[in-house]
Amino acid sequence: MKLLLTSVVTLLAMTANAQDLVYKPRNPNFGGDTFNYAWLLSSAESQNTIKEDAPAKTELSELERFTQNLNSQLLTQVSRSLFTQQFGSNGISEGSYTFGSLNVEVYPSNAGLVVSILDTNTGEQTQVIIPNQ
């Protein structure tokens, strides 16, 4: 009888200590308390070791704008002069041309006139397609 009474008391004691485990997320994106966002943000910012660089200067002075404009106009004049010397007044014609380290090939295709430009120093290449009219 003592054994039966001891085993019943032991079983009752073991079931009395049991409880439900409930998961409650902290992150508000996953159903947690919406007031946790400030704590999560400050925690993430304090752990961030990457700092942003200062923003680049975007506003140019009058002198800098004038200098850029002048350089652009001079380069345009030089490129027009080279274009006229190489291709003549009739414009682009089929063939292979060399401008310093640039190798330019002009040939017709189904899409139009293709201008393939290769920089022999770096190996960079680009194509310009002039559609048929």
Which amino acid would we find at residue 44? A
For 39, residues 6+ apart whose C-beta sits below 8 A from its C-beta are none
- Tokens for 8, please give them: 């019943």
Question: In this predicted structure, what is the pLDDT of residue 124?
Answer: 92
Q: Pinpoint the alpha helices (H) of 1-133.
A: 2-16, 37-47, 62-87
Question: Quick one: pLDDT at residue 13?
Answer: 65
pLDDT (tens place) for every residue of the chain, 133 residues total: 778 878 777 776 665 556 778 888 888 888 888 888 888 888 888 898 888 777 766 788 889 889 999 989 988 888 788 777 766 777 777 888 887 888 889 888 888 888 898 999 998 999 988 887 6
* Model confidence pTM above 0.75: no
pLDDT for res 133 = 64
Report the C-alpha gap between 125 and 118 in whole angstroms: 4
Count of positions (residues) in the chain: 133
Give Cβ neighbours of residue 116 (< 8 Å, ≥ 6 apart): 104, 105, 106, 107, 125, 126, 127
